[in-house]
Structure 1
Amino acid sequence: MASGATRKLLDAGAAGAVGDGMFDNTSILNSLLASASGRTGVYLPPGDYVVADSLRLPESTTLVGAGSAATKISLADSTDRPFVLLSQADNISISGILFDGGDQDSSAVSLQIDGCHDVLVERCAFTRMKHAVHVYSSQSRKASRVTVRESVFSNIIDFAIRVSEGAEHVLIAENTIEDVAKAEAPSPSAIYVRGAHTTVSTNVVLSSEDTGVLVAGEDARHFLVKDNSLHTRQVGVFVGSGATGGIVADNFIESERDFGVHLFDRDGRAVHCTVRGNIIENCGKSGIQIEGVSDFSLIGNTITDPGRRLDEKREWRCGVAIGATAGGPASRFVITNNRITSTPGSDAMAHAVYLASANGHVEIASNVLRGAIGDAVMLDVEVDDPYYIDTIEAIVTSRRFAQQVT
């Protein structure tokens, strides 16, 4: 895809667009974008360009501003329509623009990428929007190869970046999400992923009222959540509800009231997920909470001072807590080489590892566990064979596990 820097651009100011914060530029900009389709792009000089209807970007178009600090497109108040719409069009790039969603009532106010291929959104800013960037598939066409990077999101409702079912091969990288508030969505998240082959990397979430990164649904396959810094009120990273085949690695996570990482499936399905090398600090509840999933590994994570909400029950105030859902217990998992500690005298972490449910094929070994109020490893269930569990005080293993090792 050609970038705006290498293509001849049509100057919107020369074509009659007015960046005074009052004039309605909808007709001028849409006509200019249509004329640029397939051959060039549109340049927006510094200014505040008001639109009172959706901007529609056609095939093979570039929309470039003078930088998000200089060029702004503002949606007129009470417009209640999608802000910018890309629909079944390919090879589109947008850069250097601040998108201001204005005062609206509708949740449709967003940059919508509907069934498009090869889309790049970079070095933009988004403010006063719901579902600010939404990538999804139309009934006849998947969205694919979409990149959102190096952009800033502020004053966002429910989702800063949302990747819905059917979308695939999406890269979300190097963005800064300043604040996401919770309104209508049952599971709001700064970054929300239900598509396949999605990478969420090197983003910073400064504040999210609910979740930092949420990966859920049967379409959410082969995902990577890596090298992000997540500061949330509820969960740092949630994975479950059918999501499978992913890696959550090398993230820094702080969760004020809830879990750092939460793997959950009410139907007890396999998640095939590796959680490794994360730094998880100061969580209100457990650092890593596992419920009803199988086939996962927790390797080399550093969990410090979990369970800071002393009013919560002890089984939710652990370094790692493993339980069941209605679909069944956890099974086939490895917890190894993690460092789980609590500040002496804090009376926060009940147990470093709490096992309330397990159905065999369990290995817990070579972890550094310090500062728990109770047992470092609490076995609150009779584990099915095979298993190997180092409780610090003793090694609990089954004959079948020993035979497998030898």
Structure 2
Amino acid sequence: MLRPSVLFSALLVTLPAAAQTPASTPAAVPNAVKVVASDHASLQAAADALPATGGLLVIPPGNYELKEPLRIKSADTRIEGAGPATHLINKDESGQPAVILAPADLKTNAKSKLWRVQVANLRISGSKKSGHGLYAENIEEIYLEGVSIDHNGQDGIHLKNCYEDPRITACILTYNAAVGLNIDGCHDIVVNGNQFEENQDALRCVDGFNLCMTGNNVDDHLRHGVVIENTYGSVVSGNMIEECNGTAIILDRDCYGIALSANVIAHHLEGGVDLRDAWGCTVSANNFVLAHKFGVRVSEKSGRNAITGNSFTNSYIGENKDKRPATAKTAMGIDAGGGVVIDGGSDCTITGNTFTGLPEEGIVATDASKRLIISSNVLTDCGRKLPTGKPSISTGKATEVVEVNNLK
């Protein structure tokens, strides 16, 4: 029988058969069961005891060392731990995941799917030589809740083709060598109330649509915060994204129809929002504080975007004082700020924003930019490091520019 370092006793329980149903209703399927891991020789044996119709796998407190992935192959299944006291430790050093959720016949049937698999209330960790913490493929309506995933050699969580309605909530994803949460080929995605810290990137969403990322805390990432590619119809709102060595949010590779709103985007060494290949998107009501190179950048591959109602600022705290010094031992320690850079983009509105305490111009458009409306913005104390008299809005030879009613 399985004996982790600390274990609560539990019994294997099989639920009673369903009551007889009327002849007019479909025949009842066999009941799901409850399986307790401590009643089996290994975690895998416990998982294999779940029937195809699913059930509840309870993993009591303890340290469980995994030399190969724990494979979950049944639908309508929930794997439940006892919080971080249930600790799955990946001891594999060949790059395999700690946990794999996937249909048993996936290798021979690429269209095979499992529905409604859940993982909750446990910890998964690894090492530099291990793979993903949790890898899921072709799981529809996957639900991950209250999972702590840290120190894995690749992604914390990697979802591949979990197409229908994936939900990730109240998880903490930290110190993973690649991406905290990597979402590939999914749609109608909810990422809510999670914490991300010191992964390479916090979240990547690729080849999907309808991402709803709200209320997350993203801190101290080695590269970028949120990277979205080839995705449309999504919202990133109400998140706190702080201290990336790269950029807070990147939209690239045919993104369109995405709203980035009401986020605090604080202290990034590259920039705040980089619209590398993004069309028809909205950047509104965000606070860009201490973004070193730019607050929002719109590249030559992007256009038809609205940038409105944002605050671009440094660490000014009133009475002619900045909270942070002009020089420090590290770049993260200095006062900084970036505004809007239209780097060849087109058909954009920049309206109703405030730009304050920035070392350079509040708004810059390169010569290749065109069809811009720059209106009703407030620019105060910008161009601190520029020669006296240089304007706080610079559009160079950009064409078809309407610049009116700005207070500067």
Q: What TM-score do the two structures reach when normalised by structure 2?
A: 0.78
The amino acid across from 1:341 in the alignment is: T
**Letter paired with 1:44:** I
1:27 matched residue in structure 2: 44
Structure 2 CA distance for aligned equivalents of residues 126 and 8 of structure 1: 27
Give me the whole-angstrom Cα distance separating, in 2, the residues matched to 1:149 and 1:391: 42
Confirm or deny: 8 A CA contact 1:197 1:222 kept in the other structure. Answer: yes
Q: Deviations over 1:122-178 (max 9, x none)?
A: 0110011121111112xxxx62211111011121112000111x2211111111112
Aligned to 2:284: 276
Cα distance in 2 for residues equivalent to 1:361 and 1:303:
23
Question: Relative to structure 1, is the Cα distance of residues 27 and 10 closer, same or farther in structure 2, using a 3 angstrom cutoff?
Answer: closer
Say whether 1:127 aligns with 2:150.
yes
2:248 maps to which of 228, 232, 236: 236
The one of 352, 355, 361 equivalent to 1:351 is: 361
Identity of aligned residues (%): 19
Instruction: Report SS of the residue matched to 2:291.
Output: coil
What is residue 304 of structure 1 aligned with on the other side? 313
CA distance in structure 1 between the aligned counterparts of 2:225 and 2:326, rounded to whole angstroms: 19
Cα distance change on mapping 1:281 and 1:317 into 2, 3 Å: closer
CA distance in 2, matches of 1:72, 1:197: 33
The alpha-carbon distance between structure 1 residues 124 and 351, as it changes in their structure 2 partners (threshold 3 A), is: same
1:74-99 C-alpha deviation (Å, 9 max, x unpaired): 11242531221122311111100001
Once the two structures are superposed, the pairs formed by residues 131-142 of structure 1 within 5 Å of their partners are: 131-137=155-161
Indicate yes or no: 2:346 matched with 1:331. yes
Decide which of 121, 131, 135 is 1:112's aligned counterpart.
Answer: 135
1:167 aligned to 177, 186, 189, which one? 186
| Equivalent position of 2:71 in the other structure | 56
Equivalent residue of 2:397, what SS? Answer: coil
- In the other structure, the counterpart of 1:403 is none
CA contact (8 A) 2:286 2:310 kept: yes
- Deviation of 1:16 (Å): 2.9
Partner of 2:119: 94
Please state how far the C-alpha of 1:282 moved relative to its aligned partner. 0.7
Rounded to whole Å, the distance in 2 between the matches of 1:351 and 1:159 is 34
Looking at structure 2, the residues matched to 39 and 282 of structure 1 have their Cα atoms a distance apart, in angstroms, of: 50
Secondary structure of 2:181's counterpart equals strand
What is residue 396 of structure 2 aligned with on the other side? Answer: 380
Contact 2:268 2:290 in 1 (8 A): yes
Residue 155 of structure 1 corresponds to which residue in structure 2?
175
2:227 aligned with 1:211: no
Does the 8 Å CA contact 1:36/1:42 hold for their aligned counterparts? no
Does residue 1:191 correspond to 2:233, yes or no?
no
Q: Of 38, 53, 68, which aligns to 1:38?
A: 53
Residues 10, 36 of structure 1: 8 Å contact kept: no
- Contact 2:128 2:177 survives alignment (8 Å): no
What is the CA distance between 1:110 and its match in structure 2?
A: 3.0
* Aligned structure 1 segments of 4 or more residues deviating by more than 6 angstroms: none
Equivalent-residue separation in structure 2 for 1:76 and 1:37 (angstroms)? 28
Q: For the structure 1 residues 156 and 39, does the alpha-carbon distance in structure 2 shift closer, same or farther, using more than 3 Å as the test?
A: closer
Amino acid of the residue matched to residue 129 of structure 2? D
Distance 1:368 1:104 in 2: 48
SS of the aligned residue for 1:53 comes to coil
RMSD: 2.5
Q: Which amino acid aligns with 2:81?
A: G
Amino acid of the structure 1 residue aligned with 2:46: L
User: Deviations along 1:293-313, whole A, 9 cap, x unmatched?
Assistant: 11100111111129x999x9x
Structure 1: how far apart are the matches of 2:338 and 2:291?
10
CA shift for structure 1 position 335: 0.7
Whether the 8 Å CA contact 2:347–2:370 is kept in 1: the answer is yes
CA distance in 1 between counterparts of 2:377 and 2:257 reads 24
Distance 1:376 1:298 in 2: 17
2:215 to 187, 195, 202: 202
Distance 1:363 1:339, change over 3 A: same
1:388–1:368 Cα change, 3 Å: closer
Amino acid at match of 2:67: A
TM-score by length of 1: 0.78
Match of 1:85 in 2: 100
For residues 186 and 309 of structure 2, what CA distance do their matches in structure 1 show? Answer: 32
SS of 1:56's partner is strand
Q: Distance in 2 between matches of 1:390 and 1:353?
A: 14
Consecutive unaligned residues of structure 1, counting only runs of 5 or more, are 1-6, 18-24, 182-188, 324-328, 343-347, 394-406
The alignment partner of 1:375 has SS state of coil
